[in-house]
Amino acid sequence: VDLLNISDISTPGTSYLADLGRAEAALARQNAEVKEAETQRAAEFARIEAAEQIAERQKALSLKQAAIKA
């Protein structure tokens, strides 16, 4: 009984086994890009919310200071 062990299937210029992982690698890269964009969006929303809270508190402080002076 002969045993045949195939370790690679290739055609000129390509490797079948290497090409098998290309779709998964592309999907992983796409998922990473989407997650990065979502993270950046969430960070921007948090920055805007913090800026709004600061503005509201500064306005409240200004009103209190004006009331004290009056």
- pLDDT tens, 15-70? 777 777 888 899 999 999 999 999 999 999 999 999 999 999 999 999 999 999 98
Residue 1 lies in a domain: no
Q: What is the pLDDT of residue 32?
A: 98
Q: What is the pLDDT of residue 3?
A: 83
Residue 58 lies in a domain: yes
pTM above 0.75, yes or no: no
The domain tally of the chain equals 1
Residue 2 DSSP SS3: coil
What residues make up the domain containing 21? 10-69
Residue 14 lies in a domain: yes
Q: What is the pLDDT of residue 63?
A: 97
How far is the C-alpha of 57 from the C-alpha of 45, rounded, in Å?
18
